[in-house]
Chain A
């Protein structure tokens, strides 16, 4: 029997993997993918809360749909900035983008 706890544990693990990847990867595109993973982990928690705790009002599912839209916009904007950097720098490695310090 799969309970709410299973979903929440999966969500928490995915969130941690996403956070670790976003902080440790060098490639900007990979960082963006891990950011997506973090958001989707939260979405999973939201939807399972919605299913188990408020099955009638489904607020969590509506919340998750809004979160998806916002994330799509964020990643789109992020890729636009990456393109902008790539055109002048020919790199997608985050540690080679280092003009601003302290």
Chain B
């Protein structure tokens, strides 16, 4: 009966197909939004049903059903619901509403399976399910050349990186003859000094680095985010990034834990590169989506520091950061979505005087930007503190110093937007109206940011319990 623990995934899959099929028969298109929301709420409820996952059926061997998987699945369903709420304004203008919502659901399914994959084949399939949905979603605005171009670039680079990753997986399979993470971990000590293993390690780092958007592999990110519909960019920045981090934790700390000496050198290096380059290039951006794209590259660097700390405390920091980042980034992108759908502009200079045109929107955007910068009171502060503390505990003081300098740099470009919002006088006084779904999404994310920033206790406790058993060294 192990398959019953997959009920949330099954619900989402079923609704994604139902939405596609219903579109063939109905002329009215306005209920797909509610159907997609219902699917996610149902999935959220079924996650908490107490199904046992201990049986030895094939599918429960391919996916972990542990508490970390549960944490990520809940986070992803909440994120996807928020994305659907902010999509409504944009999707109403599209002729392909049902396809849009079902792709969002397929992407949700993909990231949920990614976060729980326990075996190479299932990991690859769920990773590709996510990627394919996102390629289609990025290129979704059919008449918009920017969108098609972004989709094409993302697809070509994404397929190359998948192939590189796949070659790495094939080599690991060849060295161990196993595909399950636990088997690989037990067989690998016999073969891990071979040169082929080093090659596969490099390929894995490159492949996952691309999905996470770490610096030498980040070139697709700004283009894909700028060209994609804004809600899709929001979903990519939180969903696929967090899922790729989940897999990275599972593979590197689970399957490849014996080879720690080889890969643990790379992580701080990649973290420093991502933070520094992401923040420096973000300084000169004029388009807010591109700025948020570079900021998301920098944020990936901070999160990677948590893994580089190589301790249960560091992994807890990573999970907390990803949770905080989900709310923060969706809030920022939600504000940009509302603004862009009313004014048609995504340039930072057009945000001038937003506080007079819509105080609510201005406040929400300011809170999310300050949280991204890591100011106290907001989720970003606790998350950064958590990660920096875990790195400092491992005596990697230089890494903390670089991260602190980077935080100062990032404060500059976040505050430049806040300055536009509050100090620069507006060009037009026309008020910006926020539709009901977007309003709900903004309120929920701001609430999440403040809750995680002011009262982090229960969350830290839950996450601590998740990572306690994860780390064996």
Q: Interface on A for B, CB 8 Å cutoff?
A: 8, 15, 18-19, 22-23, 28, 31, 35, 38-39, 41-42, 45-46, 49, 53-54, 57, 59-60, 62-63, 66-67, 70-71, 73-74, 77-78, 81-82, 84-85, 88-89, 94, 97-100, 102
Q: Is B423 an interface residue (CB 8 A)?
A: no
- Point out the residues of chain B lying under 8 angstroms from A81, CB to CB: 135, 139, 148, 151-152, 155
Contact B173 A84 (CB under 8 A): no
Q: Which of B132, B139, B148, B179 has the most C-beta atoms of chain A within 10 angstroms of its own C-beta?
A: B148
Those 6 A-B pairs whose CB atoms lie nearest each other, nearest first: A49-B174, A38-B163, A100-B223, A70-B128, A54-B177, A45-B170
Closest A residue to B224 by CB, please name it: A100
Cβ–Cβ contact B179 & A74, under 8 A: no
C-alpha gap A2/B301 in the complex (Å): 46
Q: What's the Cα separation between A39 and B173 when bound, in Å?
A: 16
Range of interface residues on chain B? 35 or more
The answer to whether A84 touches B170, judged by C-beta atoms less than 8 angstroms apart, is no
| Contact for A22 among B145, B153, B156, CB less than 8 A | B156
Select one of A19, A35, A59 contacting B173, CB under 8 A. A59
In the complex, 8 of the A-B residue pairs with CB atoms within 8 angstroms, ordered by the A residue number, are A18-B163, A35-B160, A59-B173, A59-B178, A70-B125, A85-B148, A89-B145, A102-B222
Residue from A66, A78, A97 within 8 A of B155 (CB atoms): A78
* In the complex, chain B residues whose CB is within 8 Å of the CB of A31: 156
Distance between Cα atoms of A15 and B146 in the complex (Å): 31
Q: Closest residue of chain B to A47, judged by CB?
A: B170
Q: With A78-B155, A81-B151 in contact, do A45 and B167 touch (Cβ < 8 Å)?
A: yes
Question: From residue 222 to 247 of chain B, which have CB atoms closer than 8 A to chain A?
Answer: 222-223, 226-227
Q: Does B6 contact A (CB under 8 A)?
A: no
Q: CB distance B142 to A74 under 8 Å?
A: no
A41 and B160 alpha carbons, distance in the complex (Å): 12
Check A35–B149 contact: CB distance below 8 A. Answer: no
Question: Given A42-B167, A63-B124, A100-B150, 15 other A-B contacts at CB below 8 A?
Answer: A15-B167, A42-B166, A49-B170, A54-B177, A59-B121, A60-B173, A63-B173, A66-B124, A71-B159, A81-B139, A88-B143, A94-B152, A98-B149, A100-B146, A100-B227
Name the residue among A8, A77, A98 with the largest chain B CB count within 10 angstroms.
A77
Q: Residues of A contacting B135 with CB < 8 Å?
A: 74, 77-78, 81
- Quick check: B167 and A77 within 8 Å, CB to CB? no
A28 surroundings in chain B (CB, below 8 A) = 152, 156
Residues of B within 8 Å of A77, CB to CB, are 132, 135-136, 155
Question: CB < 8 Å: which of A23, A42, A71, A99 contacts B145?
Answer: A99
A102 CA / B171 CA spacing, docked (Å): 35
B452 within 8 A of A: no
Inside 8 A of B143's CB, which chain A residues have their CB? 88
Collect the chain B residues with CB atoms within 8 Å of residue A57's CB: 177
Q: In whole angstroms, how far apart are the Cα atoms of A31 and B171 in the complex? A: 25
Whether B170 pairs with A42 at a CB distance below 8 angstroms is yes
Q: Separation in Å of the B21 CB from the closest CB of chain A?
A: 19
Whether the pair A85, B160 counts as a contact (CB closer than 8 A) is: no
Taking CB atoms, residues of chain A closer than 8 Å to B222 are 100, 102
Q: Which residues of A contact B125 (CB under 8 A)?
A: 66, 70
> Which residues on A sit within 8 Å (CB–CB) of B150?
100
Q: Is the CB of B145 within 8 A of A39?
A: no
Tally of contacts, chain A with chain B, CB under 8 A? 116
**Nearest chain A residue, comparing its CB with the CB of B284:** A102
Which B residues form the contact surface with A (CB < 8 A)? Answer: 120-121, 124-125, 128, 132, 135-136, 139, 142-143, 145-146, 148-153, 155-156, 159-160, 162-163, 166-167, 170-171, 173-174, 177-179, 222-223, 226-227
User: Chain B contacts of A15 at CB under 8 A?
Assistant: 163, 167
Taking chain A's interface residues, is the majority helix, strand, or loop, or is none over half, making it mixed? helix
- How far is A99 from B179 in the complex, measured between Cα atoms in Å? 42
Contact check, B160 vs A74: say whether CB atoms are below 8 A apart: no
> A38-B163, A74-B155 in contact; A84/B128 too (CB < 8 A)?
no
CB neighbours (8 Å) of B132 from chain A are: 70, 73-74, 77
Partner of A63, one of B120, B151, B152: B120
Chain B residue numbers with a CB within 8 Å of A88 are 143, 145, 148
Known: A49-B173, A59-B179, A77-B136. A99 touches B159 (CB 8 A): no
B226 and A100 contact, CB distance less than 8 A: yes
- Nearest to A22 among chain B residues (CB) is B160
A62 to B124 CA separation, bound complex (whole angstroms): 12
- B167 nearest CB neighbor, chain A only: A42
Find chain A residues with CB under 8 A from B128 CB: 70, 73-74
* Closest beta carbon of chain B to A89's beta carbon, Å: 7
Residue on B nearest A54 in the bound complex, by CB: B177
Q: Which residue of B lies closest to A100 (CB)?
A: B223
Query: Chain A residues near B149 (CB, 8 Å)?
Result: 85, 97-100
Is the pair B179, A35 in contact by a Cβ cutoff of 8 Å?
no
For the complex, what is the distance from the CA of A84 to the CA of B167, rounded to whole Å?
31
Q: In the bound complex, how far is the Cα of B449 from the Cα of A56, in angstroms?
A: 53
Whole-angstrom CA separation of A62 from B178 in the bound complex = 13
Residues of A contacting B166 in the complex (Cβ-Cβ under 8 angstroms): 39, 42, 67
A19 (CB) vs chain B CBs: closest residue: B160
Q: Are B159 and A74 in contact (CB under 8 A)?
A: yes
A57 to B179, CA, bound (A): 11
Chain A residues near B148 (CB-CB < 8 A): 81, 84-85, 88
